[in-house]
Amino acid sequence: MNAKIRWGIVGPGKIARKFCEDLATHPDAEMVAVGSRNLARAQKFATEFNISKSYDSYDALFSDSNVEVVYIATPHRFHHELSLKAMAHGKHVLCEKPLGVNTKEVQELIESARKNKVFLMEGLWTRFNPSIEKIINDLKQQRIGTVHYVRADFAFNGMDRDLDSRLWNPELASGSLLDIGIYPIFLSYLVLGMPEKIQAMSTFHENATEIQTAMQFQYPNAMACLYSGFSSTSKMEAEISGSKGQILIQPRWHETSSYRIEEDGLETLVETPPKGGGFTEEIEEVHSCLRRQAKESEKWSLQHSLDLVTLLDSVREKVGLRFPFEV
Ligand SMILES: NC(=O)c1ccc[n+]([C@@H]2O[C@H](COP(=O)([O-])OP(=O)(O)OC[C@H]3O[C@@H](n4cnc5c(N)ncnc54)[C@H](OP(=O)(O)O)[C@@H]3O)[C@@H](O)[C@H]2O)c1
For 188-204, write each residue's pLDDT tens digit: 999 999 999 999 999 99
Answer yes or no: is pLDDT of 34 > 90: yes
With a 6 Å cutoff on the Cβ, whether 59 touches ligand 1 is no
Binding site membership of 97 for ligand 1 (Cβ less than 6 Å): yes
pLDDT band with cut points at 50, 70 and 90 for residue 124: very high
For the Cβ of 78 lying below 6 angstroms from any atom of ligand 1, the answer is yes
- The pLDDT mean for the chain works out to 98
Q: Nearest 5°: phi and psi at 308?
A: -65, -45
Nearest to 34 by CA among 4, 73, 3: 73
Verify whether ligand 1 is closer than 6 Å to residue 115 (CB atom).
no
Question: 79 with 106: CB under 8 angstroms?
Answer: no
- At residue 186 the predicted structure's pLDDT band, cuts being 50, 70 and 90, is very high
**Do the Cβ atoms of 72 and 92 come closer than 8 Å?**
no
Nearest CA to ligand 1 atom 41: 36
How many other CB atoms sit within 10 Å of the CB of residue 39? 14
Whether 327 shows a pLDDT value over 90: the answer reads no
For ligand 1, atom 37, name the residue with the nearest CA. 11
pTM: 0.98
Check pocket membership of 229 for ligand 1, CB cut-off 6 A. no
Average pLDDT over residues 143-163: 97
> What span, in angstroms and rounded, lies between the C-alpha atoms of 311 and 22?
30
Q: Is the CB of 176 under 6 A from ligand 1?
A: no
**In contact, 12 and 33? CB cutoff 8 Å:** no
> According to the model, what pLDDT value does residue 213 have?
98
Task: Give the C-alpha distances (Å, rounded to integers) separating 84 from 10, 54, 92, 114.
Answer: 13, 21, 11, 11
The pairs formed by 1-4 with CB atoms below 8 angstroms and a separation of 24 or more are: 2/28, 2/291, 4/28, 4/29, 4/30
pLDDT tens digits, 292-302: 999 999 999 99
Q: Which domains are present in the chain?
A: 5-124+279-298 (3.40.50.720), 130-273 (3.30.360.10)
The pLDDT value given to residue 1: 58
CA of 47 to the centre of ligand 1 (A): 19
Contact between 207 and 170 under an 8 Å Cβ cutoff? The reply is yes
Would you say the CB of residue 250 lies under 6 angstroms from ligand 1? no
Is the sign of the CA dihedral 158, 71, 287, 25 positive or negative? negative
In the predicted structure, residue 158 carries a pLDDT above the cut 90:
yes
**Residue 253, φ and ψ in degrees, nearest 5:** -60, -30
> One-letter amino acid identity for 303?
Q
Average pLDDT rounded to a whole number, residues 112-124: 98
The residue whose C-alpha atom lies closest to atom 4 belonging to ligand 1 is 15
Between the CA of 45 and the centroid of ligand 1 the distance, in Å, is 14
**Is 264's pLDDT higher than 90?**
no
Sheet strands (E) in the chain: 5-10, 29-35, 53-55, 69-72, 92-96, 120-123, 147-155, 197-204, 210-219, 222-229, 238-242, 245-249, 258-263, 266-271
Report whether 75 contacts 15 (CB < 8 A). no
